[in-house]
Structure 1
Amino acid sequence: MLTSMNIAYQAGQALSGFDVTAGEWMTTGVAAIAAVAVIYQSVHTRRSADASKDAANAAVKGLEIANSALQVARDEERHSRTLVTETVRTHMDATLPEVSVAFASDPIWPYIGGGQQWDLLTPDRRLRSPGEHDLRVALLSSVSLSNGSNRLVEFKVEYTPGRTGMMDNAIAVMERSRVERVLVEPGAVRSINFAVVAMLYEWIEAGAPTSNNGQDRCALPMVSYQGSTDWGASVTWSTGIESPFVAEPMREVTGETTVTTYRLALELPAFEPSMEVREYWLSKSSGIPLEPPISAAGTD
């Protein structure tokens, strides 16, 4: 039989084991609650991050849509402005009279000299440069101004007069460009003779001069029509020609100078067909042009 002391000892041992087990369970419960809190916080943090990411993506897409809409609006504006400009140009073109300008393609055989003395430049003549590089060489031709409309038309012609004489192949050249207003009756054609004069080195280096640069010598002629109104289109006609000279294959060296001999080409170059350029004006007197259409590919 167990004594009372033994029974008390065993009961104490049982109670002691019960207290340890409860403490472990309490610790485990606290840890579980903390884990659940951490997991809950992580889930909400993840959801918040995902929401922020979705919001950022939506903002980027919204910006792309806004940029696309802005580009569409710009393209539509360019298209509308282009349509308006082209409509105005078409109307300006329709108000132009039926006029045309034609340069004779075959030049009259060149002359060499200056002032009152011009001699026919024959194919067997040889010119040396330097030495004769400042000799003047003149080509003569003509330009026809045609008025196919039913009203009087005024052309502006910038040219140097030049014509052949009646005897000894003589020519008359005024080596000062002039600006002349030429009236052409309805259905009529006016022909104007002109000279193109340049020094030998100019013909060799660049062909005929395109402008006289304020000097008293001739350049290629230009014809223009501007109309009588301040608003509308203007047209300019011009031509071009290459040098009629070719270099001989042999060159002479004198001291430190190389002399090149030139002769006329077997066939003279032809004047180019009329080159036409149109300009459109909202106000000619104020210098306000009609702006060209804006390309849809342009960027701001």
Structure 2
Amino acid sequence: MFDSLKTKIFLGIYVFLILSIPVGAYFIQQRQSTSVSANNPLNRTITHIPDATPGAQKFSQSNQQTSTQSTNSETSVDTTLPSSFGPTLKLTLNLEGRPINKQVAKVFVGIAEGETSQNPKYLLTFNIDLPDSGVFQGLSLAGLTSGNKYTAYIKGPAQIVSASTFTMSSAETPLNSNQPILLYTGDLNEDNLINSQDYSILLSSFGSNTSSLNWNSLADFNLDGVINSFDLAILNKNLTKTGDSGVWTSPTPSTKSGSPTGGYWFWMPEI
């Protein structure tokens, strides 16, 4: 019995030792690997990346600039009006009959040399989008001479021409010393004269509103959506008034075929 028990214990120890050898070897290997890693940092081979092409560099620089601009725009908002390089003109206009905050219109501006005259020869011409405020800045006067005297001729969609003389500065020139320039209303046929022809045009749409077939938006001088006695009163007050640049007349045919000769609208006179 003793021999048998002793043999069994011996066999058990033997089996345990046999099984412990690979397990022990594994732990020893792991410990050695950890030690080697700590003492010998990993060497990495870095492959050189070729320089970007000029086009790619330019694109990258452009993206960087755009990113910078975007960041700046988030912290500082530019609320100034767009400006032009060189001398500019500032206009403050009042289209007669309209509410003070509803001056929006397509307005013609012609610049001629010297004082106000009939049939001026324009050096510069513009069609500007006047905002509701009636104030327009940044009208470029490039090409004109600082210190010289010029006249601005201004006409709205149903107004006769109003002229304002100014001496040009090298920066911004406020027309009429920053005071509003009144544009007289009632010129419905665009001949720079308010007369019976304009009166007849208004009467043809008198009493109409925006949904009427005979509606004429130009005759709604006060922008209330109805052509009525208020609009008629404005026109009557200005009857016989002529724009500062003189009356415009249509060119007459010079041939039997009826082909028109020379001639221009008042804002582009024949030179």
Q: Say whether the fold is shared (TM-score over 0.5).
A: no
Larger radius of gyration: 1
Structure with the higher strand share, 1 or 2: 1
